[in-house]
Amino acid sequence: MSASAAPVRPRPWLIGLAAALATLAADQALKLWLLFAFDLGRRGAVTLTPFFDLVLTWNTGISYGWFQTASVAGQWVLTAVKVTAVVVLALWLLRAGTRLAALGLGLIIGGAIGNGIDRLAYGAVVDFALFHLQIGGKPFNWYVFNLADAAIVAGVGALLYDSFCGDGAAKAP
């Protein structure tokens, strides 16, 4: 009688690596297409729906435009912080215990590298997505962001969900 083999499941870090590579590739491909094929910079704002536009902005700071700096030294400091964060996240990924945590870490790593490439290539991060609405005649705009930013937010959400609700989460008695 032969023993049945258990199905081989990929190690969690492989899922994270795949997520990071897919995020990085999609982010950079979309940015290159918007900049050079679609020529968003020449077109100006492009309205896609009543609540969503494509607009080109160059973010020299970090999340939500905090710590804006046009200086070369400032850009290198931000790049060094980003590289350090990616290394720490990669080490965490290698130790990830669940597929969801690995997926979240991969999304964050891919997004961080994508924005880091922008910073090195252009001196700023390419942002282009703008959600907005109008209530009572008053406009409300969300921050302009990109695919890498969305992946980072989704990755953080996955990590939070995994921490509080996932299989390995501590449950209350």
- Interatomic CA distance for residues 83 and 115, integer angstroms: 11
The residue assigned the tokens 């490439």 is 117
Query: What strand order describes the sheet that includes 138-141?
Result: 46-49, 52-59, 125-135, 138-141
Q: Is 162 a catalytic residue?
A: no
Query: Could you say which of 27, 53, 118, 149 is catalytic?
Result: 149
Strand extents, DSSP E, the chain:
46-49, 52-59, 125-135, 138-141
The active-site residue, picked from 39, 127, 162, 167, is 127
Q: Could you tell me the two tokens for 95?
A: 């130790």
Distance CA 131, CA 145 (A): 9
Determine whether 149 is an active site residue. yes
Catalytic residue ranges? 127, 149
